[in-house]
Chains A and B, each alone.
Chain A
């Protein structure tokens, strides 16, 4: 499968625990995005990487959230001290920098439930 891969697909955790999600983008894509989607809403932008550089972070990304893309390939999103309000689908997308239309391709997402 050469699409965007996300792991785990589902995560159930207790409030206060830390969780980490992984995203493997399409191999030649240098742009990587994280979004969060809650029920009945469209996805909302969280953060953006161009290669290994994190170039933009949304105000939605509180201090408890951190994202990395250490070698410009896969990315991780960590949430510390989870809260019930963090329950959502976390989507990763990638795109090719040379694509003038900037189409993004999405992974299947990680569904987080905080109890």
Chain B
């Protein structure tokens, strides 16, 4: 039982390059989330998927897209990376959206040059 897994762990991009961050959970959770964490800012929600087949914007969605591929997998895509997207990205899942405990992955540290 791996919980929430994320790939890659580290990534360096040049401005304008694209990439997809992968996330998978094996807890049969309905809801999944993508956050970014910057020093002094705390965790900020980018996008979430309350259930399979639905996605919604969070607090900071600009410059990102998501895909809920199936119940297990939720990917985050940067179409044209910018230095402002340098951050640590966390994926999380919960049984139900909102009030349930969220289980977080180990994070992806992304640097955009």
A and B: real partners? no
